[in-house]
Amino acid sequence: MGSDQLTRAEIETGRKLFAGDWQFVAAAGSPASLPFMKGVEIAFAGRSNVGKSSLINALTGRKNLARISRTPGRTQELIFFSGGDNLNVVDMPGYGYAAAAKSKVAAWTELIHAFLRGRSNLARVYVLVDARHGLKPTDAPALDALSQAAVSHQVVLTKCDEVKPADLAGRIVAVEAGLAKRPAAFPTVLATSSHDGAGVPELRAAIARLLTERKS
């Protein structure tokens, strides 16, 4: 990763950051029900069934912290979790599920925009993208919303164990090229697999580095 190469010390700091007793805090289905801001928040966004819940469970070392559903679009609220160490994780509703009612999609959109505009403690949104498919047109509105809200965001590839190494390298290059047209997006793409744990320690470390930079 060039200048972004993580050290062993940073990997260990990331492990400790997520080693706490993670617990469900709140579920917000409307802007009015968003919980009081406390500590630092990072959020995970992505298309329905991209693996947000699986990645959150892998990061926290808890198999059932975030609900995993085989039904696209089931998560219709912002789900807040806390690790008790000044860090809060937010599972955002999946997008791109065409079968959802337009009124429901509109409500999700309003909720997400209110969340992005109103959380001064939101350090970064990680946009999850399926490594098998790369960026899709359905990702564009979410990336646009993040840019418009001036929220720091970074793409994380999921399900990398299902892609051959050579193909994965090419996919990373392609995604980073697509993000180059978006100056608000973090230029480096992280690759992960919740299935075999690949990239999870590095993502933890990157989050720990982000929190350290935020304090300085």
- Please give the backbone phi and psi of residue 101, each rounded to the nearest 5 degrees, phi first: -60, 145
User: Residue 65 contacts by C-beta under 8 Å, 6 or more apart in sequence?
Assistant: 22, 24, 56, 57, 81
**Cα dist. 15→116, 132, 134, 173, 204 in Å?**
27, 27, 28, 28, 6
Report yes or no: 88 and 81 within 8 Å, Cβ to Cβ: yes
Sign for the CA dihedral angle at 136, 141, 145, 148 comes to positive
Q: What type of residue is 22?
A: W
CA distance 89 to 60: 10
Q: 160 pLDDT exceeds 60?
A: yes
Q: What share of the chain is helix, strand, coil (3-state, %, to 5)?
A: 40, 20, 40
Where is average pLDDT lowest: 39-48, 61-70, 154-163, 201-210? 61-70
The domain that holds 41 is classified in CATH as 3.40.50.300
pLDDT in tens, 104-137: 777 778 888 999 998 999 999 999 999 999 999 9
Nearest to 192 by CA among 153, 169, 163, 160: 160
Q: Which domain holds residue 201?
A: 2-215
- Please give the backbone phi and psi of residue 83, each rounded to the nearest 5 degrees, phi first: -100, 5
Mean pLDDT (the chain) is 89
Model-level pTM? 0.92
Structure tokens at 12: 């260990």
